[in-house]
């Protein structure tokens, strides 16, 4: 909400104030009291219970109508929340810790659009629905990072304020920018010597001597999460059984680390996804677009029809053609 209500220095006094959003006092109080903790793990919002028992509150009469229920099943909470006020309605439902639905229906005099966020099963991805009727638009993505990187402006305007009652004032937009920074840094031509070293270590994973294989394994792990994208992009057909086994084990070790996503960790597995580099083709910096072009060609194993220096209209048309190509794969 801070991003929505911020005062801009130099804004004319007569400028219209941003639309007022629905307040969520009981939900915010429960978060502040430590009933649950919200993190981002593998690009999904995960809610973890931090207190035993359950709480049910309800208020009606003067002021907004508010209903709040939270129940704990071990560390996995089930949460149901709804509030109705003159600003509109806000509802939230959480089950299994990561099945989440958030809906905002603005009041009659509000300039805000109707919005809904859905995070279903992991293989179903997430979606943000903005508007209603003929003006409704759905933005779907594999993970929260895919959505934040691919639809940065939409997320800044709509998604981040919608998630604030659950996530608090975490600046997910800034975190997504950091993920992109790490992606660019770890995949530039400047990394070529490092990648050459990794390639030699992968070759050493198939050495006849056990000690040499173990040494190469340790050195690849010591490189940290940034080695994951390199290993994931290897041609597995060119690896023998021992190399294949060890490479898969190293990738899995970093993927199973658990804990909250960091820019380094998120970038390590996003780097092997063509959809991320497709999204970066639309960035303002030509250098980023050029890098994204190179990475897409590596991941797709073929040249692509995209000109990083072309005008915006031409680039958009080329991106849409590439999107269709990637979806078919």
Q: Residue 81 has which token pair? A: 């929340």
Task: Confirm if 194 and 220 have CB atoms less than 8 A apart.
Answer: no
Q: How does DSSP classify residue 112? A: P
- Rounded to whole angstroms, the Cα distance separating 89 from 91 reads 7
Which residue is it, tokens 């508007």?
Answer: 131
Q: How does DSSP classify residue 306? A: -
Task: Confirm if 207 and 213 have CB atoms less than 8 A apart.
Answer: yes
Tell me the whole-structure pTM to 2 decimals: 0.78
Task: Confirm if 70 and 36 have CB atoms less than 8 A apart.
Answer: yes
Q: Find the helix or strand (DSSP H, E) in which 25 lies.
A: helix 25-32
- Rounded to whole angstroms, the Cα distance separating 6 from 280 reads 29
Q: How does DSSP classify residue 16? A: P
- Rounded to whole angstroms, the Cα distance separating 143 from 158 reads 17
SS3 217: helix
SS3 164: helix
Residues (pLDDT < 50) of the chain are: 1-15
pLDDT for res 225: 75
Give the pLDDT confidence of 237-260 residue by residue, as tens digits.
889 999 999 998 988 887 665 568
pLDDT for res 4: 32
Give the pLDDT confidence of 92-107 residue by residue, as tens digits.
999 988 999 999 999 8
- Rounded to whole angstroms, the Cα distance separating 110 from 105 reads 10
pLDDT for res 6: 29
Query: What pairs with residue 44 in β-bridges?
Result: 41
């Amino acid at each position: 909400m801070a991003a929505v209500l911020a005062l801009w220095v130099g804004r004319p006094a007569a400028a219209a104030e941003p639309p007022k959003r629905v307040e969520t006092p009981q939900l915010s109080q429960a978060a502040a009291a430590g009933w649950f903790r919200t993190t981002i793990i593998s690009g999904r919002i995960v809610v973890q219970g931090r207190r035993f028992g359950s709480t049910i509150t309800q208020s009606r009469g003067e002021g907004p109508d508010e209903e709040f229920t939270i129940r704990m099943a071990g560390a996995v909470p089930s949460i149901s929340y709804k509030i109705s006020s003159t600003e509109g309605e806000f509802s939230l439902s959480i089950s299994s810790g990561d099945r989440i639905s958030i809906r905002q229906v603005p009041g009659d005099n509000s300039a805000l659009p109707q919005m809904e966020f859905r995070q279903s099963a992991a293989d179903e991805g997430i979606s943000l629905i903005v508007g209603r009727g003929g003006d409704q638009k759905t933005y779907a993505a594999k993970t929260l990072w895919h959505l934040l990187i691919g639809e940065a402006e939409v997320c800044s305007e709509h998604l981040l304020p919608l998630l604030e009652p659950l996530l608090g004032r975490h600046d997910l937009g800034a975190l997504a920018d950091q993920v992109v920074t790490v992606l660019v840094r770890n995949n530039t031509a400047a990394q070529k010597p490092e990648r050459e070293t990794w390639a030699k270590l992968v070759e050493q994973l198939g050495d006849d001597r056990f000690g040499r294989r173990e040494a190469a394994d340790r050195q690849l792990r010591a490189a940290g999460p940034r080695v994951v994208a390199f290993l994931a992009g290897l041609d597995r057909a060119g690896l023998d059984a021992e190399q294949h086994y060890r490479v898969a084990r190293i990738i899995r070790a970093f993927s199973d680390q658990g804990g909250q996503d960091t820019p380094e960790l998120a970038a390590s597995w996003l780097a092997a996804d063509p959809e991320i580099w497709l999204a970066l083709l639309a960035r303002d910096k030509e250098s980023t677009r050029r890098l994204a072009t190179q990475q897409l060609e590596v991941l797709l194993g073929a040249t692509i029809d995209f000109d990083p220096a072309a005008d915006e209209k031409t680039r958009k048309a080329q991106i849409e053609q590439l999107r269709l190509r990637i979806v078919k794969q």
